[in-house]
Amino acid sequence: MNTPTADKPSFWKRLSFPLRIGLIAAAVAILLALVGVARGNVPLNPLSILLALLISGGTWGLVAWAVATAAVDVESDVAEAEQREPETT
């Protein structure tokens, strides 16, 4: 029962770690914006709601992605530097 989809990793697994972090942060921010809309903190017209969702989700997603990307880059640089220098004890 080898189906074509059995060999492929899922869409979520194919995404890079920083991108997954950014999408999770964006989803949480959109959820919190929806809570704010439900509590009456945003005027109930479509443009205001759309802007609240886009600004909160976009900002949090972009910042979380950037921080996660920087962390992954630093970790790979540290690992590369540790491999290059000889062990001194």
Judge whether 47 lies within some domain.
Answer: yes
Judge whether 72 lies within some domain.
Answer: yes
Rounded-to-integer distance, Cα 28 and Cα 22, Å = 10
Rounded-to-integer distance, Cα 65 and Cα 22, Å = 4
Judge whether 21 lies within some domain.
Answer: yes
Q: Which residues of 51-88 are buried (b: 16+ CB within 10 A; e: fewer)?
A: ebbeebbeebbeebbeebbeeeeeeeeeeeeeeeeeee
Judge whether 37 lies within some domain.
Answer: yes
Judge whether 86 lies within some domain.
Answer: no
Per-residue pLDDT, 4: 58
Residue 78 has pLDDT above 70, yes or no: yes
Residue 34's domain comprises 16-80
Residue 43 has pLDDT above 80, yes or no: yes
Judge whether 49 lies within some domain.
Answer: yes
Per-residue pLDDT, 15: 87
Task: Count structural domains, the chain.
Answer: 1
- pLDDT, tens only, 1-39: 455 556 788 888 888 999 999 999 999 999 999 999 999
Residue 49 has pLDDT above 90, yes or no: yes
Helix 46-84 and helix 17-39: axis angle, to 10°?
150
